[in-house]
Amino acid sequence: MSLLVKGRQEGREIVAVTPESAGWSYVGFAAYRLVKDEEFSFYTGGREMCIVILRGIVSVEVGKTVWSEIGKRDSVFERVSPYSVYVPHRQAVCITAHGDVEIAVCSAPGNGDFSARLIEPASAVRSIRGQGSNTRYVCDILPQSAPADHLLIVEVITPGGHSSSYPPHKHDTDNIPDESALEETYYHRINPSQGFAFQRVYTDDRSLDESMAVENHDVVMVPKGYHPVVAPHGYDCYYLNVMAGSRRSWHFKNDPAHDWLMRR
């Protein structure tokens, strides 16, 4: 099975990954496009979810709570943090679009006593990682310091000509504090949209070694292994990461063959 899930260029559902389709236990991811006044309703069932408003303005109703007209950016490439809504398990959700909208629905098993809450842009901490052509711009939407059962969510912009998730790192072994076991999806957006990026997923023994040309709206699944990204000259790459595992803690291990880059 390929780790690349192609995004659809038309229709409500852009792309969807479930634990069943991925062959793993935790991470679910879907992206949707909605038009003005369109409603999208669902039930969280046994899963916690985080709705990330990628672009546009929506109202989100969870039970009897309504957050009206949230969202502030027209593109994921704006250097502005998104609005998001965390929703625990066993909740009814209704999303109403106020114009053209793109949203992501990130999910993992849920069983805690957390309340639904709005995650405002001011609480989504922005930072810069790396240097030179390894510089990328990070926004922590749902970090391990925020309450949730399993979900961890972050978005990253990698400028054209830069690398990201680099040096190659992995988090597929339960050996905290050195490394944690987390499944992960990468939802890619490319600017300009006709471009592409490259992502490789590989293990030490190369029993898994897949290199992919990633286009706008594609998802790459990372069940295990190292997973670097490269954005070619002229095309910026955005990705939304969703991670989850048995323990909600992000610890990673660099590929020893490339760890020397950190000592430069």
Segment 36-57 mean pLDDT: 98
Distance CA 152, CA 121 (A): 16
Question: Where does 35-194 show beta strands of DSSP type E?
Answer: 39-43, 47-55, 58-62, 65-70, 84-87, 92-97, 101-109, 117-119, 125-129, 136-142, 152-158, 163-164, 169-170, 172-175, 179-181, 183-191
Task: For residue 32, give the nearest of 5, 47, 59, 51 by alpha carbon.
Answer: 51
User: In the predicted model, is pLDDT for residue 208 greater than 80?
Assistant: yes
> pLDDT tier at 12 (50, 70, 90 boundaries)?
very high
Please give the pLDDT value at position 262: 85
pLDDT in tens, 217-230: 999 999 999 999 99
In angstroms, the CA 111 to CA 108 distance is: 10
pLDDT confidence of residue 263: 81
Compute the average pLDDT of residues 159-163: 98
Amino acid at 33: R
Instruction: Determine the average pLDDT of the residues in 231-248.
Output: 98
Sorted by where each starts, the structural domains of the chain and their CATH numbers stand as: 4-263 (2.60.120.10)
What would the pLDDT profile of 51-94 be if each residue is shown by its tens digit? 999 999 999 999 999 999 999 899 999 999 999 999 999 999 99
| CA distance to 8, 153, 169, per residue, from 228 (Å) | 24, 17, 7
pTM over 0.85: yes
Of 150, 111, 117, 169, whose CA–CA distance to 249 is shortest?
Answer: 150
Residue 1, pLDDT > 80, answer no
Q: What is the pLDDT of residues 92-104, one digit of tens each?
A: 999 999 999 999 9
The CA distance from 204 to 83, in Å, is: 38
Left if phi > 0, otherwise alpha if psi is -120 to 50, otherwise beta: which for 234?
left
CB 163 within 8 A of CB 170: no
What are 121's two structure tokens? 């842009």
Query: What tens digit of pLDDT does each residue of 102-158 get?
Result: 999 999 999 989 999 999 999 999 999 999 999 999 999 999 999 999 999 999 999
The answer to whether the beta carbons of residues 123 and 164 sit under 8 Å apart is: no
**pLDDT at 211 (0 to 100):** 98
